[in-house]
């Protein structure tokens, strides 16, 4: 009898424990062991990782597709899985909070390195480092935040007010990230940060989600029923504005007075003495040839731009490609002088290989393409007297150790 009672109690305890575990899984109540605040870069042999509801490979996956390599994740907490010798990171991805295995991630030294990694995997065609256009803020809540990177995971810029709907903002850099989000760099009251370009009037109009309050009020007023008396009074009130407009036709009388004085300016034929400068014709002929060349180049450029717009369905991507073509054309025209390149190559021959910065390059991108890792950025900076935060420009020559 005692054995039966003992076995029954054991079964009941097992059922209670399984119910509690299932409740935790369903409600997602399990929290990380401790809080953290750092960034990791996804680097997996599988090309990406999954995010789970719990720190367990058998728990539900929250993502439809893998988080691709190079994506920066803000790790807000950690949980140790001692049974499998694995550390899990608690993070947010596409608005979902969950756990990712940290053995497939690489730590970064700074927020900037995390941002550069995401911009690098986005690709040159999706990042414009020389953007120069304006947008108008438009968010459903009426306001939006300015962030320290291209994503809310980078945190808000401290001490900066919220962006109000209708504000005109100047974008100096933009990026279409691999996770499908669109971000741009702007300045609020002298402080630079990143804003969500999907929260702009331009984006809303392009995707058919824009609602203008003023337009909606005007439309709401039109279907108001009118009585016959109202129609008569409305006609009376409207008629003065119509009759006053024709009175403006009296202004042509002024045209008959002023034009008669203008012919007096014909006394200025004195400039006809300028033919004495007969030595200038060769210059004008050269200028005519240059103008002809520039006209043909402009025609070719316009045809190229039209071709780009036909290929790209997204207007912003087409504008970015056109701007990139213009940058590359200008770089081809303004070649670096031979004496500068010779001196740079001579000085770099002793320490390494010279490299000319191209549009869209960053120190991190150069390090990855040259050495296969971002850890060589410090060596590149030392060899050129640069800092990791310093901006590099197209046409600039650096030494790769």
pLDDT in tens, 276-310: 444 444 444 444 455 555 555 555 566 777 776 66
Best CA proximity match to 135, nearest among 161, 165, 98? 165
**Whole-number Å distance between alpha carbons of 86 and 140:** 41
Looking at residue 298, what is its pLDDT?
55
Highest mean pLDDT among 112-126, 139-153, 247-261: 139-153
Q: What percent of the chain has pLDDT over 70?
A: 61
Strand partners, 48: 68
Give CA–CA dist 223/211, Å, rounded.
19
Dmax over Cα atoms in the chain, in whole Å? 132
Determine contact, residues 92/153, Cβ cutoff 8 Å. yes
Residue 59 in this model has a pLDDT that exceeds 50: yes
pLDDT at 2: 61
Q: Which residue has the tokens 């989600």?
A: 209
Give φ, ψ of 314 to 5 degrees.
-90, 120
Predicted pLDDT of residue 170: 97
pLDDT of residue 214: 61
Whether the Cβ atoms of residue 78 and residue 88 lie closer than 8 Å to each other: yes
Q: How confident is the model at residue 327 (pLDDT cuts 50, 70, 90)?
A: low
The reported pTM is 0.50
pLDDT of residue 148: 95
Q: What is the mean pLDDT of residues 13-29?
A: 46
Q: Residues 241-249: what's their mean pLDDT?
A: 42
**Beta-bridge mates of residue 200:** 137
Given pLDDT bands bounded at 50, 70 and 90, which one contains residue 151?
very high
Percentage of the chain modeled with pLDDT above 90: 33
Strands 163-164 and 96-101: unpaired
Q: Classify residue 250 by its DSSP letter.
A: G
Mean pLDDT within 223-244: 41
- Under a CB-based contact definition with an 8 Å cutoff, are residues 108 and 120 in contact? no
pLDDT on residue 27:
43
Sheet-wide strand order for 96-101: 96-101, 86-93, 72-81, 34-42, 105-107
Residue 274 scores a pLDDT above 60: no
Please tell me what DSSP assigns to residue 314: S
Region of poorest pLDDT, from 80-89, 131-140, 314-323: 314-323
**DSSP label at residue 142:** S
Query: Is residue 361 within 8 Å of residue 392, measured between CB atoms?
Result: yes
Q: Which is more confidently placed, 58 or 95?
A: 58
96, pLDDT greater than 60: yes
Of 326 and 257, more confident: 326
Residue with tokens 């804003």: 195
pLDDT at 223: 45
Buried b (16+ CB within 10 A) or exposed e, 382-391: ebbebebeee
The token duo for 95 is 């608005």
Q: Which residue did the predictor score with more confidence, 270 or 312? A: 312
370 has pLDDT over 60: yes
User: What is the model's pLDDT at position 374?
Assistant: 80
Closest by CA to 50, choosing from 30, 71, 25, is 71
What are the pLDDT digits (tens) for 157-194?
999 999 999 999 999 999 999 888 999 999 999 999 99
Helix then strand count (H, E) for the chain reads: 11, 17
> Would you state the pLDDT for residue 283?
41
CA distances from 326 to 184, 256, 319, 329, 332 (A): 21, 49, 11, 5, 10
Q: What is the pLDDT of residue 185?
A: 97
- The yes-or-no verdict on residue 245 having pLDDT over 50 is no
The dihedral built from the CA positions of residue 31, 32, 33 and 37, taken in this order, carries a sign that is negative
Tokens standing for residue 76: 């807000």
245-266: average pLDDT:
42
| List of E strands, 69-118 | 72-81, 86-93, 96-101, 105-107
**Average confidence (pLDDT) over 314-343:** 62
Alpha carbon distances (Å) from 116 to 166, 197, 262 = 30, 19, 64
């Amino acid at each position: 009898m005692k054995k039966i009672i003992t076995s029954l109690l054991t079964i009941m305890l097992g059922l209670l424990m399984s119910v509690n575990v299932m409740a935790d899984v369903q409600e997602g109540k399990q929290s990380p062991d401790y809080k953290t605040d750092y960034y990791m870069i996804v680097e997996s042999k599988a090309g990406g990782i999954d995010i789970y509801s719990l720190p367990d490979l058998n728990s539900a996956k929250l993502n439809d597709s893998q988080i691709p390599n190079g994506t920066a994740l803000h790790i807000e907490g950690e949980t140790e899985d001692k049974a499998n010798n694995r550390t899990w990171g608690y993070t947010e991805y596409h608005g979902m909070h969950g756990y990712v295995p940290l053995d497939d991630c690489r730590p970064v030294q700074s927020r900037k390195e995390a941002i550069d990694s995401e911009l690098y995997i986005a690709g040159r065609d999706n990042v414009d480092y020389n953007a120069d256009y304006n947008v108008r803020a438009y968010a459903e809540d009426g306001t939006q935040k300015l962030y320290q990177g291209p994503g809310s995971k980078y945190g808000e810029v401290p001490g900066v007010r919220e962006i109000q709907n209708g504000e005109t903002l100047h974008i100096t850099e933009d990026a279409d990230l691999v996770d499908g989000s669109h971000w741009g760099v702007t300045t609020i009251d002298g402080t630079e940060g990143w804003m969500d370009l999907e929260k702009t009037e331009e984006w809303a109009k392009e995707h058919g989600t824009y609602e203008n309050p003023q337009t909606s009020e005007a439309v709401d007023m039109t279907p108001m029923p009118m009585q016959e008396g109202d129609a008569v009074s409305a006609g009376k009130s409207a008629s003065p504005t119509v009759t006053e407009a024709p009175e403006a036709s009296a202004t042509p009388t002024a045209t008959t007075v002023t034009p008669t004085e203008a012919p007096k300016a014909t006394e200025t034929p004195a400039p006809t003495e300028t033919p004495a400068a007969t030595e200038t014709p060769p210059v004008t002929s050269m200028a005519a040839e240059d103008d002809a060349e520039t006209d043909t180049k402009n025609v070719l450029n316009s045809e190229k731009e039209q071709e780009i717009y036909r290929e790209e369905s997204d207007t912003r991507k087409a504008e970015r490609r056109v701007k990139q073509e213009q940058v590359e054309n200008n770089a081809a025209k303004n070649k670096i002088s031979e004496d500068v390149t010779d001196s740079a190559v001579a000085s770099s021959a002793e320490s390494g290989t010279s490299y000319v910065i191209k549009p869209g390059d960053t120190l991190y991108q150069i390090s990855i393409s040259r050495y296969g890792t971002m850890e060589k950025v410090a060596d590149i900076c030392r060899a050129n007297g640069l800092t990791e935060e310093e901006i590099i420009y197209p046409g600039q020559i650096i030494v790769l150790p």
